[in-house]
Amino acid sequence: MSPRRIVLVQAPIAIADPRLRKLFAPDVAKDSPASQQAIQNAVDIAQTRALAYMQSALESQTGIRIINSATVSRVIDKWRIDNADTVVTPEIAERLRAVSGADAILRFHITDYGVTPKAWRKAVITFEVVSTLGIAAFAYAKPATRALAGVYLVTEAIEETAEAYGGFWALDEICRPVRIEAQLITFDPETAAWKTSATGLSDRRVTRLVRKVSVTERDTQLDNAVHNAVNGIVADLQR
């Protein structure tokens, strides 16, 4: 039986991820207050958006009711349930069920924000070939960007000689991937009933490879990618 009442918990993004500094504070001294603040601001926006999109999608698409209260929040804080590594033991599950009346916990977190998911990088050799040719083919198919296709292949070959993740750099610029992991833990009986992940991509514009992407455009890309990742999680939950 699918849960009808859940406690929704978002675990934080790991702000120590060096990829975040490269994306949000590239011109600021590493570990400086300004760098840390820029990263924290970006993370706060990401988590606020992800939580809002997740709440909306769950309630509008699944009919699940999200249970929230000050008491529930205190239990979450006390037992560190908002830590992705915290194991929800039978004792924790019972405490949370008692104060919420919910059937389950849905815990999720953003694992990769605006960059190619680490899980994808394990397939680096295959992906380099496929992504390079695929992006060039996509560019060639559109008259407005056809001239970029050859330029991209040459540039990409240089990038890949110097850096193994050249193709991933291109994907980052074009699509700003956002990956979310989610886990459903039921209370009666206490068990990890479901676990999934989804990666959202923004709209695809190959011209982003040969021009400077503004902060506003990048923010829109990230917003779209977060939204798409959340929709992927919720769609999987309904299967």
Residue 161 has a pLDDT of 37
CA pair distance 226, 220, nearest whole angstrom: 10
| Burial status of residue 216 (CB atoms within 10 A of its CB: 0-12, 13-18, 19 or more) | exposed
Q: Which residue has the tokens 């990890």?
A: 192
Q: Which two tokens stand for residue 21?
A: 């500094």
Do 86 and 124 reside in the same domain of the chain?
Answer: no
- Residues 102 and 132 occupy one common structural domain: no
Give just the sign of the alpha carbon dihedral 102, 69, 237, 199: negative
Domain match, 31 and 120 both: no
Residue 226 sits in which domain range?
5-114+177-237
- Please say whether the beta carbons of 117 and 111 come within 8 A: yes
Q: Quick one: residue 106, left, alpha or beta (phi over 0 = left, psi -120 to 50 = alpha)?
A: beta
Q: What CATH code is carried by the domain that includes residue 225?
A: 3.40.50
In this structure, the answer to whether residues 89 and 49 fall within a common structural domain is: yes
As given in the structure block, the two tokens for residue 121 are 């990088």
User: Do residue 131 and residue 217 come from a single domain?
Assistant: no
Distance CA 32, CA 98 (A): 44
Residues 110 and 120 in one domain: no
47 and 144 fall within a common domain: no
- What is d(CA 230, CA 109) in angstroms, rounded to the nearest whole number? 10
Q: Are 181 and 100 part of one and the same domain? A: yes
* Same domain as 189, residue 108: yes
Strands 178-187 and 190-200, by their bridges, are antiparallel
Domain count, the chain: 2
Residues 31 and 18: beta-carbon distance below 8 Å: no
Out of 147, 175, 203, pick the residue that ends a domain. 175
Polymer length in residues for the chain: 239
Are 88 and 193 within one domain? yes
Burial level of 224, CB count in 10 A (0-12/13-18/19+)? middle
Whole-number pLDDT of residue 135: 52
pLDDT tens for the chain, residues 1 to 239: 467 899 999 999 987 778 899 899 989 998 899 999 999 999 999 999 999 999 999 999 888 999 999 999 999 999 999 999 999 998 999 999 999 999 999 999 999 999 988 877 665 444 444 454 455 554 445 554 444 444 444 444 434 433 444 457 778 888 899 999 999 999 877 677 799 999 999 988 877 877 888 999 999 999 999 999 999 999 999 88
Instruction: For 107-148, give the secondary structure using H, E and C.
Output: EEEEEEECCCCHHHHHHHHHHHHHHHHHHHHHHHHCHHHHHH
The tally of CA atoms less than 13 A away on the side-chain side of residue 135 is 30
Q: Among the three residues 136, 151, 175, which one is the final residue of a domain in this structure? A: 175
Please say which residue of 175, 204, 223 terminates a domain: 175
pLDDT for res 72: 96
pLDDT confidence of residue 180: 97
pTM of this prediction?
0.81
